[in-house]
Amino acid sequence: MGPRVPGTAEDAENHVLSGRPEVTVTFMDVTFTKDSGRRYLMTVVRERGPELAPRRGPGYDDYLPHDAVHFLVEAEARLTGGAFGRIAAGQSNMFWPADKRLLRHQKHREARRKPSPIEHAQMGRSEDLASACQVLWQLRSGHRSEPPSWFDRVPPEDLESRLTERILARLDEFAARWHALPPGGSITLTWPLDNHGRPASARR
């Protein structure tokens, strides 16, 4: 399924700067580890919230695993209400507490908490940008010869924005490093942007 495309990348960037979701942005490392059998594992170390158990991520790819794309998109676009921004703020989201005694309480707590309108919009924007940018990267790098049928609905501004170019540069860097990793190798991405406004760091 393609993205919903509610607005342009520049619109999203301006929206984030004018109205952030009501979450506390704290430090977080997410480590992506290449596993055997075309699988990958994600491990979270964060400043806020209960310790999270590692989990396997969906959508393995030899260059850009699905959740790594989402992390890079959300970090570069400053979507603090997206999946990884919410995890950094203390939610479990797609993970679960390492301490099983906390599992029921955490599920109950998050079931009662409804996303704010800005969080909901930024989660959708993350999906839109991740879908579009991954296809753009595949086309530019020669890993895809034709775009999918929904791609003609992506606004032209999104395909040429400064934000999109920054995201594609991050995908280039990650893809090269990920493809070169042997099974058991890993890349750690740090949330959020650093104090100098640079993208979140990426280190092996």
Task: Report how far residue 82's alpha carbon sits from residue 126's, in angstroms, rounded to the nearest whole number.
Answer: 6
Residues 6+ apart with CB under 8 A from 136: 159, 164, 168
Question: To the nearest whole number, what is the mean pLDDT of the chain?
Answer: 82
**Which tokens belong to 160?**
């040429």
How does residue 108 score in pLDDT terms, banded at 50, 70 and 90?
low
* Cis omega (within 30 of 0) for bond into 192: yes
Task: Choose among 113, 90, 112: nearest CA to 28.
Answer: 90
Does the global pTM surpass 0.85?
A: no
Is residue 119 scored above 50 in pLDDT? yes
H or E element, residue 164: helix 162-180
pLDDT > 80? residue 198: no
Find the angle CA(23)-CA(29)-CA(35) to the nearest 5 degrees: 130
> Is the distance from CB of 42 to CB of 187 less than 8 angstroms?
no
Which 8-state DSSP code applies to residue 101? G
Average pLDDT of the segment spanning 143-163: 92
Mean per-residue pLDDT for 131-140?
A: 96
Structure confidence at residue 110 (pLDDT)? 65
Report pLDDT for 98.
Answer: 84
Q: Where are the domains of the chain?
A: 9-203
Q: Cα(75)–Cα(11) distance, rounded to whole angstroms? A: 16
pLDDT for position 58: 94
- For residues 32 and 200, the model is more confident at 32
Average pLDDT over residues 145-164: 92
pLDDT above 90: residue 105: no
Sign of CA dihedral 130, 52, 191, 188: negative
- The whole-number average pLDDT for the span 35-61 is 94
Name the residue among 10, 30, 124 with its Cα closest to residue 77: 10
**Cα angle: 162, vertex 33, 99; to 5 degrees:** 110
